[in-house]
């Protein structure tokens, strides 16, 4: 497994790689993860069940993607593949330069290559155009491509000009034993008069719809006097939310709880009854599945692959606008 | 609802065989649904007929037509003429073919004509009112007059080749980054500070080569008029009457060609050829290239909701726990 994104970084791709590795190991395969070093986390480390992780000395230069040098670490990769007697290389995330380069180098070593794309990308802006061209070049020689939703499959097929039947749709999954509902949570029988808690848990960045959230929260709280909101997560848009909260005097009803570690995510979520997701673009939102597994009602904007993720009785879809979210909530 | 704790337990090669044609063989004609939460009797790489059904190509693309493009290219031609004038007037002053008095008279005439165009055609008095306009004009002229000794010695230590090279580069940058949409009445505000800055920088550099301070004053004043004020006047002319716009363009081309011909007829011929290419050949190329444009959009696009600026930028007036005034409409709905 090769990707720029692995622990100690937190995120959907990292969790996916880790859990996939654990499952494959429990089926008897040997899995080795190759990623770049994070601070003083470098060298070879062993995670649970003997999962071997190589933290290579690559330089991350933009959002944890390492600096692109096509042959810069080809020798290291070759040594690792030979030492571990690898027969398959699985790259993750189109944004990860390590994964793309490893796919090229592994093909010249004669390995089979599988690539998983976790995100949706646009077509119009210059960065996307360059990335799509690179992806097209790399995926031209890959044995199989995995996408996490049908919308993501359409997006990837268009971006990389792939044959659709070489793209497999395998959705992400959640370990339900880790996300169980809390039986002690009292479900309000009458949403109007009893206290209802709304939970938001995401990185506070633009693409997660934090601006929409800031627009929607004040009227929502005005409409339901017994509503409380818990916002977990941190990011550049936190100031915006704090400003909205202070401008409308909602400090006693909205709690900005800061970053929540993944192992505490379930405990954070079961404090609420409704999970709100206002993302502007999602290939497959893991948080929705985790929230549904934890027993919350999910309200989300219908963007990207979200309409495919949960059955209609578990999720309420909304238009990606402030009015739509108000209607949905 | 318990999810399977593993990734798909039926991976790999067994499922991928023989599914390229998308036909679902078998006695039960189950319909493929675009959902991920239930197991469907299709392989993982099954491609349904509805694949890419929501793909939209070139949704809101206005077509490009030749003659409107030719008319629109007049703005670029006008700007090129301004640059040529701004570059050649210092040359002629330096060589003695023109006098500072003539240049000042031309600048004054252009200022009056431009002001009249703005006032009559556009109803916009530059500077707010006539008195303020005159005051600003006096301030501008006085400022340039006071600064001209300084400007003359500003680039004194730079050699002439470097000055000419920098000036040419600055004027090209100005042409490249200029806000042509403004003159073509497409936008309402003039933008492009970098282009203005590079144009003025080129003018100042060339002015620094002048021999007399009166020359410096004349050059800087003319250049400032051409780069700062003429877009507004030309915009009003373009909006009022397209024929006058084209006539103005032709007059500017003629003026620039005359200035060039004073220096070298070959350069004038080259300039006229470039203008012809810009006016007739470039639009044809653009129209031909437009056929290949494919703007792809579909359900994977990032949503671009409308954020009303009032809610995001200004603090609200009513604080405290009471009813909050809401700008957008509220929908009917319930929690839970």
Q: Which residue in B has a C-alpha nearest to residue A315's C-alpha?
A: B336
Low-confidence residues of chain A: pLDDT under 50: none
Contacts of A209 in chain B (CB under 8 A): 303
CA A10 to chain centre: 9
List the single range of A255-269, A304-318, B133-147, B296-310 with lowest mean pLDDT. Answer: B296-310
User: Which pLDDT does position A223 carry in this prediction?
Assistant: 80
Q: How confident is the model at residue B20 (pLDDT cuts 50, 70, 90)?
A: very low
A73-100 as b/e: b if 16+ CB within 10 A = bbeebeebbeeeebeebbbbbbbbbbbb
User: Which pLDDT does position B127 carry in this prediction?
Assistant: 66
CA dist A200 to A26, A216, A273, B294, B298, Å?
Answer: 34, 12, 11, 38, 27
Other beta carbons within 10 angstroms of residue B123's beta carbon come to 8
The string of pLDDT tens digits covering residues B43-92 is 888 888 888 888 888 777 788 889 888 888 888 999 999 999 999 999 99
User: Which pLDDT does position B25 carry in this prediction?
Assistant: 44
User: Which pLDDT does position B271 carry in this prediction?
Assistant: 93
User: Which pLDDT does position B18 carry in this prediction?
Assistant: 36
CATH code, A176-328: 3.40.50.2000
Q: Do domains A12-169 and A176-328 have the same CATH topology?
A: yes
Domain ranges of chain A: 12-169, 176-328
Q: Is the pLDDT of residue B24 over 60?
A: no
Look at the alpha carbons of A143, A146, A150, A152 in this order and tell me if their dihedral is positive or negative: negative
User: What's the pTM?
Assistant: 0.71
User: Which pLDDT does position A139 carry in this prediction?
Assistant: 92
Average pLDDT (B98-113) is 89
Q: How confident is the model at residue B234 (pLDDT cuts 50, 70, 90)?
A: confident
User: Which pLDDT does position B83 carry in this prediction?
Assistant: 92
Closest-CA distance of chain B to residue A58, Å: 29
Report the run of H or E that residue B67 belongs to, with start and end. helix B66-95
Residue given tokens 């040419």 in the structure block: B168
**A113 is written with which tokens?**
């290559």
Of B16, B319, B330, the CB nearest to A326: B330
Q: Is the pLDDT of residue B11 over 80?
A: no
Average pLDDT (B162-176) is 92
Select, from the ranges A98-102, A304-308, B188-192, B293-297, the one with the highest average predicted confidence (pLDDT).
A98-102
* A166·B45 Cβ contact <8 A: yes
Do A33 and A46 form a contact (C-beta atoms < 8 A)?
Answer: no
Of A165, A283, A301, the CB nearest to B303: A301
User: Which pLDDT does position B28 carry in this prediction?
Assistant: 57
**Residue predicted with more confidence, A238 or B253:** B253
Q: How confident is the model at residue B266 (pLDDT cuts 50, 70, 90)?
A: very high
Question: CATH fold of A12-169, please?
Answer: Rossmann fold (3.40.50)
* B37·A310 Cβ contact <8 A: yes
User: Which pLDDT does position A50 carry in this prediction?
Assistant: 87
User: Which pLDDT does position A193 carry in this prediction?
Assistant: 64
**Residue predicted with more confidence, B263 or B2:** B263
Q: How confident is the model at residue B26 (pLDDT cuts 50, 70, 90)?
A: very low
């Amino acid at each position: 497994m090769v990707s720029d994104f692995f622990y100690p970084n937190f995120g959907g791709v990292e969790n996916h790689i880790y859990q996939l590795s654990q499952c494959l190991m429990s089926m008897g395969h040997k899995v080795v993860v190759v990623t770049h070093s994070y601070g003083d986390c470098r060298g070879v480390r062993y995670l649970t069940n003997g999962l071997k992780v190589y933290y290579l000395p690559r330089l991350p230069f933009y959002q944890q993607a390492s600096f692109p040098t096509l042959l810069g670490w080809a020798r290291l990769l070759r040594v690792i593949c030979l030492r571990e007697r690898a027969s398959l290389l699985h790259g993750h995330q189109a944004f990860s330069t390590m994964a793309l380069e490893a796919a090229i180098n592994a093909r010249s070593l004669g390995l089979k290559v599988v690539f998983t794309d976790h995100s949706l990308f646009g077509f119009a802006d210059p960065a996307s155009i360059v990335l799509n061209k690179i992806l097209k070049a790399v995926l031209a020689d890959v044995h199989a491509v995995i996408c996490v939703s049908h919308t993501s499959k359409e997006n990837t097929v268009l971006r990389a000009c792939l044959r659709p039947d070489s793209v497999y749709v395998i959705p992400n999954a959640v370990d339900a034993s880790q996300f169980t509902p809390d039986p002690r949570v009292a479900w309000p029988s009458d949403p109007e008069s009893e206290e209802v808690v709304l939970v938001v848990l995401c990185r506070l960045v633009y693409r997660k719809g934090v601006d929409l959230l800031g627009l929607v929260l004040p009227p929502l709280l005005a409409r339901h006097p017994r509503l409380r909101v818990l916002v977990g997560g941190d990011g550049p848009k936190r100031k915006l939310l704090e400003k909205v909260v202070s401008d409308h005097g909602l400090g006693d009803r909205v709690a900005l709880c800061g970053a929540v570690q993944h192992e505490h995510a379930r405990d954070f979520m079961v404090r609420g009854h409704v999970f709100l997701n206002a993302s502007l673009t999602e290939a497959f939102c893991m948080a929705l599945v985790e929230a549904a597994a934890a027993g919350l009602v999910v309200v989300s904007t219908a963007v990207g692959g979200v309409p495919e993720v949960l059955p209609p009785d578990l999720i309420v879809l909304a238009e990606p606008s402030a009015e739509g979210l108000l209607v949905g909530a | 609802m318990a999810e399977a704790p593993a990734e798909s337990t039926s991976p790999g090669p067994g499922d991928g065989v023989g599914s390229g044609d998308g036909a679902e063989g078998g006695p039960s004609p189950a319909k493929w649904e675009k959902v991920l939460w239930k197991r469907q009797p299709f392989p993982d790489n099954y491609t349904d007929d509805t694949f890419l059904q929501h793909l939209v190509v070139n949704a809101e693309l206005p077509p490009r037509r030749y003659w409107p493009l030719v008319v629109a290219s007049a703005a670029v031609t006008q700007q090129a003429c301004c640059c040529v004038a701004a570059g050649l007037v210092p040359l002629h002053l330096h060589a003695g073919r023109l006098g500072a008095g003539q240049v000042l008279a031309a600048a004054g005439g252009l200022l009056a004509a431009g002001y009249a165009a703005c006032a009559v055609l556009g109803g916009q008095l530059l500077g707010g009112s006539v008195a303020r306009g005159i005051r600003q004009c006096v301030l501008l002229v006085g400022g340039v007059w006071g600064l001209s000794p300084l400007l003359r010695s500003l680039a004194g230590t730079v050699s002439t080749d470097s000055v000419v090279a920098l000036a040419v580069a600055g004027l090209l940058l100005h042409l490249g980054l200029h806000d042509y949409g403004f003159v073509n009445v497409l936008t309402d505000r003039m933008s492009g500070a970098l282009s203005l800055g590079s144009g003025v920088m080129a003018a100042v550099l060339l002015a620094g080569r002048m021999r007399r301070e009166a020359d410096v004053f004349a050059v800087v004043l003319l250049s400032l008029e051409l780069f700062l004020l003429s877009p507004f006047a030309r915009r009003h002319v373009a909006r009022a009457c397209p024929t006058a716009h084209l006539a103005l363009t032709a007059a500017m081309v003629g003026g620039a060609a005359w200035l060039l011909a004073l220096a070298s007829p070959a350069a004038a011929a080259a300039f006229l050829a470039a203008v012809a290419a810009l006016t007739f050949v470039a639009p044809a190329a653009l129209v031909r290239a437009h056929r290949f444009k494919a703007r792809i959009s579909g359900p994977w696009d990032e949503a671009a909701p409308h954020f009303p600026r009032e809610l995001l930028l200004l603090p609200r007036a009513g604080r405290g726990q009471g009813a909050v005034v809401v700008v957008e409409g509220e929908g009917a709905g319930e929690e839970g």
